[in-house]
């Protein structure tokens, strides 16, 4: 099963993914995918495999998409893991969900928080001004119909967010 993790900026996806990766490190049933992005590695951004545009073009990806002037890719070898019945967890854009679900057995884990929590987290990063934050929060991309979705409301303690996220990843219902 391909578990597609989505959510708005500031929802805490990267924090929850890192905690889940650590908590489930010894579980051979689960693989956390490190996506390739045409962005240099830098502090404050998610853990990803930085690649050039030329390297990206030469790679075999199971899924790829463009967003915010960057290209993103999920490694092609996930098909082997999925064929063996593993749970493959990937941080993706909402725009690639329909394509992923058409190609693989998939479900979505949506990590979110109330708008005021998202705004505070984004402001705390210091990377965007108030107008940019408002524009991010106004951007609403609906989830495609027909793909099962588990929602994780990540607005409480870190421990509560991690517990809810782990349950969403490992419980197929």
Answer for the pair 120, 9: CB distance below 8 angstroms, yes or no.
Answer: no
Cα–Cα nearest to 166, from 32, 63, 49? 32
Phi/psi zone of residue 31: left (φ > 0), alpha (ψ -120 to 50 degrees), beta?
beta
Backbone angles phi, psi at 63, to 5 degrees: -145, 145
Render pLDDT for 117-156 as a digit per residue (tens, 0 to 9).
888 888 887 777 777 777 777 777 778 888 999 999 999 9
pLDDT tens per residue, range 14-66: 899 999 999 999 999 999 999 999 987 765 556 788 899 999 999 999 999 99
**Which domains does the chain possess?**
2-170 (3.40.50.300)
């Amino acid at each position: 099963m391909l578990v597609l993790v989505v959510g708005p900026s500031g929802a805490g996806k990267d924090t929850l993914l890192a905690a889940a990766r650590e908590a489930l490190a010894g579980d051979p049933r689960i693989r956390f995918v490190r996506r390739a992005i045409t962005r240099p590695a830098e502090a404050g951004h998610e853990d990803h495999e930085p690649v050039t545009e030329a390297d990206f073009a030469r790679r075999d990806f199971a899924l790829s998409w463009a967003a915010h002037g960057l290209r993103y890719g999920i490694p092609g070898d996930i098909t082997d893991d999925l064929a063996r019945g593993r749970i493959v967890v990937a941080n993706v854009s909402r725009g690639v969900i329909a394509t992923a679900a058409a190609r693989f057995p998939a479900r979505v884990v949506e990590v979110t928080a109330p708008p005021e929590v998202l705004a505070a987290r984004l402001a705390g990063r210091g990377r965007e001004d108030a107008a940019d934050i408002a524009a991010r929060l106004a951007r609403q991309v609906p989830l495609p119909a027909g793909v099962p979705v588990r929602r994780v409301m990540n607005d409480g303690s870190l421990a509560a967010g991690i517990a809810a996220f782990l349950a969403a990843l490992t419980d197929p219902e």
